[in-house]
Amino acid sequence: MRHRKSGRQLGRNTHHRRALFRSLVTSLLEHERIETTEAKAKELRIVAERMISLGKEGNLHARRRAASYLRAKRVVSKLFKDLAGRFAQRPGGYTRIIKTRRRVGDAAPMAVIELVTRPVDKTEVDKGRAADQKGAGRSAAKTTPAPAKASAAAGA
pLDDT tens digits, residue range 94-114?
999 999 999 999 999 999 999
The pTM is what? 0.74
Cα separation, 98 vs 81, in Å, equals 27
pLDDT over 70 at 139, yes or no: no
Distance CA 57, CA 63 (A): 9
- Ordered DSSP codes for 109-126: EEEEEEESS-PPPHHHHH
Q: Contact at 8 Å (CB) between 86 and 117?
A: yes
Into which CATH architecture does domain 14-136 fall? Alpha-Beta Complex (3.90)
Distance CA 112, CA 119 (A): 17
CB 28 within 8 A of CB 34: yes
Q: What percent of the chain has pLDDT over 90?
A: 73
Domain spans in the chain, listed from the N-terminal domain onward: 14-136
Separation of alpha carbons 121 and 126, rounded Å: 9
Contact 37, 107 (CB under 8 A): no
- Tens of pLDDT along 69-97? 999 999 999 999 999 999 999 999 999 99
Per DSSP, 104 falls in state T
Confidence of residue 156 (pLDDT cuts 50, 70, 90): very low
User: What is the average per-residue pLDDT within 42-66?
Assistant: 95
